[in-house]
Structure 1
């Protein structure tokens, strides 16, 4: 009986196994493989896919200062990942399982999709009987898409569309195929397929909201690649109207607002950002950034007060701590627009001090502070801020137009800061030199008292920061539960003692006789008795009067060098402010100061000429005439005097020189076109009509080179010799001589 029972059980199991074959089209077989695919293999694959998607979202960092990408993903164009699946993986092969431990989540998802297709596909007589296989192919394509294997992804999507036209995921698959074509720069093909989905079949209204939203988002991506901006706006508008996928819809709305802002359609931009900022269903990061963009697109009128009030409320909200950097910054920008400069500076500094900050954000903040300082004519401070911009700029944005502009602007400020520092330093030293001995001593005694007081205050602050507690035996916050009453068991007591020791003794090496400042006194001597008085502690050189008195220059040549360097710096500052920054006030200040401080007349001509020009620009005719008369009366034969007498003459000479340059270029083009004889003829004609031009040596060398191209070696050498002798001190003469040496070596 028992044997019969075993046979019966075996027969039933065998019957079930046979009936569940992928080759047998039965109800049991179809449902068995569909359930196994969905709730076993595909479930695990989809979970891996979702984990991979989460990783991508976490790694992707949006730069809200630029237009966001519609799809929040960053592909590495230089590195296409290759799947590392091994033959037999997913089929119980232990070695394959071991090798697949390093697979990404998308690779695992692909592995599960492949396993579902290989083990559970029921393709009987050309028809797929397992209704879950189209899901497996879609998962396979999406996994390949995110590993940047776009061609294999297209193959997976095409297989679904060709073989499962009635599948419930057919429309989603078409959208994914279109997105993949966009990544392959096949935007036109993507647009055509999406148009067919949305328009040609006239079934858009019948499509689920999720599918319509995805389709319009993909269309916007495609048109963005083709720079058809109006179509991008059209499809983003349709996508955000649906608003089913909260994350993607909020992103679409934000991008739409950014596009309106770029097109200077501020009203439309404000409307979009206001709606997004107030939309509670949208993710919080987009709502906060929408408030910032709303402020950016607000004019400097009464409406800016309302927007500023809105930003202040957000700043007060403790939930917005991680957005404080950008909120403070934008509040500062609004204050700049309202001419509340000090308020703006306070906000910008708070933005820099905010905990959650990034370098790119800081470049804008430092730039704003630099611009404020520049407009206030505080050029040294402005240069320091622009330096900070360039310091925090990463290589990714180093060649950005804005950064290049700041770099050019800062170049002049760097030179200016150098001269300003020279003037300040040399003036200070020369003032000390001019003091009497008693005045120097009194000055430095006050200075030493000041730094001693500052040092004491700093030490006291350090002691206070230790939070010593009420007693040596108390348990400190960092005691890690130690309850011993001995002094060295209490970390706070030890820290306090260390600070107190350093205040009295300074930094001492742990060694014998550590109290002694001069160990050499012990050499050759007997050990001191206990009653001997301790050696004095070495005094800080900063507190010694001799440290400063000895540093004051005594030699006349050193003092003259300081004075000359200071005067040269003042002159250069005057020119920079006059020519580069067009700041007449500071140009006059530096040049007039130089005029008073100079000891001789070496620079009188240049100073007077430039002061004449600056005073003329600000219509101070009296002072302009005074400096003009110095130039005309004391230096009548100089070029400066000739320019003052005949200001238009220079323009005529410049125009003539421009014509000479133009003619030289025409002749040079003849040479480049291998018209050597014609070149020589034109040079002979032209040379006779010009005199005292810097281009004459160039024309002579060009003539010699042309002769060498169509005449013999003797004529060529003679022409070169003429250039080398006639213009020996010019670059062209030296070049001709060099060519002659090479020519002699050629037989």
Structure 2
């Protein structure tokens, strides 16, 4: 007790000194300029609890927010990771920014890079040397860099993430954390679509597998699976996914990865393995939606030959009766349809698929898949008209990321064309049949149709009145409930909520809760459609008539000989189109043969006789009906002896000989063009005359002729040049060279003395170049409006550059530099010789010009193509329409140079 009292007296007497000593020690510990046990211990402690911990918690909360916001689409293969969707990750930017801020603060306030005092070199152990040689002495600094990099990654700020991860690898090459950096760097490159670079870093885990920290092995395996799935290499992703599942201890994630594995087996047509994997998902008891979809998929891949489907169907029917599955009935009916299909009960399967689509409420993905399943079965039967109707319904609501979406859209387009021709035949046959009736009988038929229309209108009015009464009743009930409810908030009042839902359905039908829900069809058309839709349609005479008058119906009837002739021409063309579609698009050779035979029987003098004969020859040959093939081969040779088809059938070597001649003419044209450039006009004239007499069918003949005529201009005889070019335009009407000839003629009309023909440069390959006579009058078709939306456009010469390659490079450029703007890149043919690659859409000229300059500065898009193989510019929406009609690249090039580059 006495000692304690003495110590207390000493403390009271010297407490200022004690406080001063503690303060000095704290200040010394705070310093990052000294590297001692005290400073290291202080900063290791405070860097974690004061800064890093808070930043890491913010990052974890951001990831949780993404996980919570992400909505799985079970009609597609689920993604392994949920960070690819930039719309979803945007919601976590606040947390990610906080993580970056805290990580940066940790580095700035707590990093110690100064070396500690060395011991005597003789007394240093290897451990001491390694400690001294490290670049950083606070253990949470490298974690802070990793945290910053991951936060940038989740923000889709990929270049900042790459820079951070590369710094980690350089600075901590001897530390295990470099493997974390390798992992996240590979994920960054995967998200950028740079798969080769990603695989390069993933390969390091294989070459250094003994050094990789074990907790990372599962993540590495999952990343290997992810990169293969993103490249649609589903089969090779399976072993990596299995490995990732084995390393995963989190039950929720394990169930998800197992579900994805089942989907991969299902896509790979390994039904037994898929069935087993879906069963494992159910056993792991994940959330209700995943369990439900696992049950549905398990039922849909049931092997009818291996077991009885009774228990499965019983389970599905029980699920149908469960009230909580009301929004899942579409999937249940779809699964029942798949079971019926597996048991070869196709008609029953169709009924289930259509019922699935009918009862669908909020799941538009399932509705589209159900329509698609029914359409596929109708297509196989084949019932093309029904198939078209359901493909049409499916494609209208199908997500563009659905597997083989482009192929489905093409099939639908072909079916639309087929059904359009079927309808033409039916409509024209019906119109001709009605037109052939006596007047009294025809009028009675029309009057009956009018009466039906009036009855339907009356029914519609009655239904509308009833609906209005119901709405008034609902409103009255709502007022009563509001009074009785004591002002309860709408969403806490079940009765009011139910009425609101009913009113919504009455007005809008079943709509999914999503952006732009009011829009019935949110799909956008392609580049050509967008331009076409801007044109207005004129009203025809029929649109001004009432559909309750006889004249409305008589207008369509072919009541005169000329009208019947037009009607027959439509039917004839439709028969030919249908037969060709069956052959080329659907490979239905039987229906194609029937189509051509019907055409020849109904219209024996058809203008399509030759091609029909030739196609019948090929079709019979393909179906091994060699006798009939010989019949139509002989008809081609005997009835059309001078045709290309007769030459082909009569001489099997015809095409080889034609190709040899074509190569010879091409070689001669290249020489002739050089003669033209060097003003050696005698050789130009001679070669043109030779080709004209020996190879008059050559597609290059117009080019020879044009060079020869332009050589006449070199003599200064503009009158002779005008006469030659006028004859050229008549002789080669429709050829691309005529456009150029007309430009020269127009220039000669305006300023004949100023036309300079000596300076002709190649534009693309062996094409002719701009004539300097083109002046401002030629460019009047284009208007300057810099405020309009603009496109970036590359025109390529098909013989020199692949438009697909240019499109690929432009898309990669956009991913690298403009990923956040989601530009659309398309390519289309401008003519037989040129293609367009388009980037859309820029708000105005300035934004488009910035992009144009960026392409040129980057240098990795077009720089390695020859200058004469492409042209690139920006163009306004109005001028684009004009350009697509005019198709003259040089004319717009000059307009662009004058009005954009000189600004």
TM range, smaller chain: 0.5 to 0.7
Change (3 A) 1:333 1:605: farther
Partner of 1:143: 151
Q: Does 1:580 align with 2:581?
A: yes
1:107 is the counterpart of 2:97 = yes
Partner of 1:104, secondary structure, is helix
1:576-655 aligned within 5 A: 576-581=577-582, 605-606=605-606, 642=639, 651-652=649-650
Distance, in Å, in 2 between the alignment partners of 1:730 and 1:706 is 14
Contact persistence 1:383–1:414 (CA under 8 A): yes
Residue 605 of structure 1 deviates from its aligned partner by: 3.4
Q: Distance in 1 between matches of 2:94 and 2:712?
A: 70
Please list every run of 5 or more consecutive structure 2 residues that lacks an aligned counterpart in the other structure.
1-8, 117-130, 486-494, 500-545, 583-587, 621-631, 676-681, 758-903
| CA displacement at 1:261 relative to structure 2 | 5.2
1:405-420 matches, within 5 Å, as: 405-413=410-418, 415-416=420-421, 419=424
Query: Equivalences for 1:243-258 in 2 at 5 Å?
Result: 243-258=248-263
SS at match of 1:479: helix
Q: Distance in 2 between matches of 1:568 and 1:711?
A: 47
Contact 2:153–2:188 (CA<8 Å) still a contact in 1? Answer: no
Corresponding residue SS for 2:483: coil
CA 1:66 to 1:7, structure 2 compared with 1: closer, same or farther past 3 Å? Answer: farther
Task: Tell me the alpha carbon deviations over residues 17-53 of structure 1, each in whole angstroms, 9 at most, x when there is no partner.
Answer: 4444434899998777666554553443233212211
What is the CA–CA distance in structure 1 between the aligned matches of 2:81 and 2:371, rounded to whole Å?
Answer: 31
- Corresponding residue number in structure 2 for 1:48: 58
Q: Could you report, residue by residue, the CA deviation over 1:44-70 in whole angstroms, capped at 9, with x for unpaired residues?
A: 323321221123334555555555544
Runs of 5+ consecutive residues of structure 1 not aligned to the other structure: 82-100, 485-490, 496-544, 597-602, 619-630, 632-637
Residue matched to 2:241: 236
8 Å CA contact 2:353, 2:373 repeated in 1: no
Q: Does 1:274 align with 2:278?
A: yes
Tell me the SS of whatever aligns to 2:579: helix
Counterparts of 1:561 and 1:583 in 2: how far apart (Å)?
35
Aligned to 1:667: 665
Point out the more displaced range, 573-582 or 24-33.
24-33
**Per-residue deviation, 1:667:** 0.6
- Counterpart for residue 357 of structure 2: 351
TM superposition shift of 1:106: 0.7
Q: CA deviation at 1:402?
A: 1.7
Whether the 8 Å CA contact 1:335–1:343 is kept in 2: the answer is yes
Q: Counterparts of 1:275-674 in structure 2 under 5 Å? A: 275-282=279-286, 285-291=289-295, 294=298, 301=305, 305=309, 309=313, 325-326=330-331, 328-329=333-334, 331-336=336-341, 338-351=344-357, 353-358=359-364, 363-375=368-380, 378-392=383-397, 400-413=405-418, 415-416=420-421, 419=424, 422-423=427-428, 426=431, 430=435, 434-436=439-441, 439=444, 443=448, 447=452, 450-451=455-456, 454-455=459-460, 458=463, 462=467, 465=470, 468=473, 476-482=477-483, 547-549=548-550, 551=552, 553=554, 563-564=564-565, 566-581=567-582, 605-606=605-606, 642=639, 651-652=649-650, 656=654, 659-660=657-658, 663-672=661-670
Counterpart contact for 1:137–1:160, Cα < 8 Å:
no
Aligned residues: 625
Distance 1:222 1:552 in 2: 61
CA distance in 2, matches of 1:711, 1:550: 61
Measure, in 2, the Cα distance between the counterparts of 1:318 and 1:284: 14
Larger radius of gyration: 1
Partner of 1:91: none
Q: What TM-score, normalized by structure 2, do the two folds share?
A: 0.54
- In structure 2, relative to structure 1, the CA distance for the partners of 1:103 and 1:346 (3 Å cut) is closer
CA contact (8 A) 1:269 1:297 kept: no
How many angstroms apart in 1 are the aligned matches of 2:309 and 2:302? 10
Q: Look up the SS of the partner of 1:72 in the other structure.
A: coil
Q: 1:222 to 1:717 in 2, by over 3 A?
A: same
Provide the rounded CA distance (Å) in 2 between the counterparts of 1:274 and 1:28. 57
User: Contact 1:141 / 1:156 at 8 angstroms: preserved in 2?
Assistant: no
Deviations 1:301-355 (A, max 9, x none): 5569479736666655555556555554454455445242354244245236522
2:174 aligned with 1:174: no
Q: TM-score, normalised by structure 1?
A: 0.63
Note if 1:153 corresponds to 2:164.
yes
- Whether the 8 Å CA contact 2:145–2:168 is kept in 1: the answer is yes
Q: CA RMSD in A?
A: 6.1
For the Cα contact (< 8 Å) 2:251–2:284, is it kept in 1? no
- Equivalent residue number for residue 71 of structure 1: 81
Q: Aligned equivalents of 2:560 and 2:16: distance in 1?
A: 113
1:200 maps to what in 2?
Answer: 210
Does 1:187 find its partner at 2:198?
Answer: yes
Please say if residues 213 and 242 of structure 1, whose CA atoms lie closer than 8 Å, have aligned partners that are also in contact: yes
In the alignment, the residues of structure 2 paired with residue 615 and residue 249 of structure 1 have an alpha-carbon distance, to the nearest angstrom, of 59
Q: 1:599-642 CA deviation, whole Å, 9 max, x = no partner?
A: xxxx5633997999999999xxxxxxxxxxxx9xxxxxx99982
Deviation track 1:648-683 (CA, whole Å, cap 9, x = no partner) reads: 677338975884465134312331255769998787
Q: Measure the CA separation in 2 of the matches of 1:737 and 1:238.
A: 68
Deviation, structure 1 residue 726:
9.2
> Do 1:276 and 1:287's aligned partners in 2 also have CA atoms closer than 8 Å?
no
Q: Partners in 1 of 2:403 and 2:235 — Cα distance? A: 31
C-alpha separation in 1, matches of 2:281 and 2:22? 60
CA distance in 1, matches of 2:744, 2:115: 89
Structure 1 contact 329–347 (Cα < 8 Å) conserved: yes
C-alpha distance after superposition, 1:408-440 (max 9, x if no partner): 414523632651574377368648874449945
The residue aligned with 1:500 is none
The Cα of 1:105 is off from its aligned counterpart by: 0.8
